[in-house]
């Protein structure tokens, strides 16, 4: 999925450039990078998956490292709302 140049910084900054789940630092320019040796790679996570009726509205989008986002798949994740609030930003 591709997001606009205007929306990506807003998504990235929601968590101060850290993965929503594990807190790992992300690198803005490494959004969607495919090479596994590049650190800080990230994707946009849908809090409520599109497969379950989620939208591309900003309040449903968060940055996540590729490993966390891929392991989450189309589930809501590990108590998503609590984890987002629990990470010390």
Contacts of residues 39-43 at CB distance under 8 Å and 24 or more positions apart, as own/partner, are 40/65, 41/65, 41/66, 42/12, 42/66, 42/69, 43/69, 43/70
Is 2 within a domain?
no
Is 19 within a domain?
yes
Residues 6 or more apart from 50 whose CB is under 8 A from it? 56, 74
Is 70 within a domain?
yes
The total of structural domains in the chain comes to 1
Residues in the chain with pLDDT values less than 70: 1, 74-89
The enclosing domain of 43 has a CATH number of 1.10.30
- pLDDT at position 56 is 94
Write down the pTM of the prediction.
Answer: 0.77
Is 61 within a domain?
yes
- pLDDT at position 27 is 97
Q: By residue range, what is the domain housing residue 17?
A: 7-86
Query: What token pair was written down for 41?
Result: 């790679």
């Amino acid at each position: 999925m591709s997001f606009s140049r205007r929306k990506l910084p807003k998504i990235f900054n929601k968590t101060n450039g850290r993965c929503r789940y594990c807190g790992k630092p992300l690198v803005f320019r490494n959004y969607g990078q495919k090479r596994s040796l590049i650190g800080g790679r990230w994707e946009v996570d849908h809090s409520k998956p599109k497969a379950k009726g989620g939208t591309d509205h900003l309040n449903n989008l968060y940055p996540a490292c590729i490993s966390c986002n891929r392991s989450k798949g189309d589930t809501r994740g590990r108590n998503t709302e609590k984890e987002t609030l629990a990470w010390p930003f």
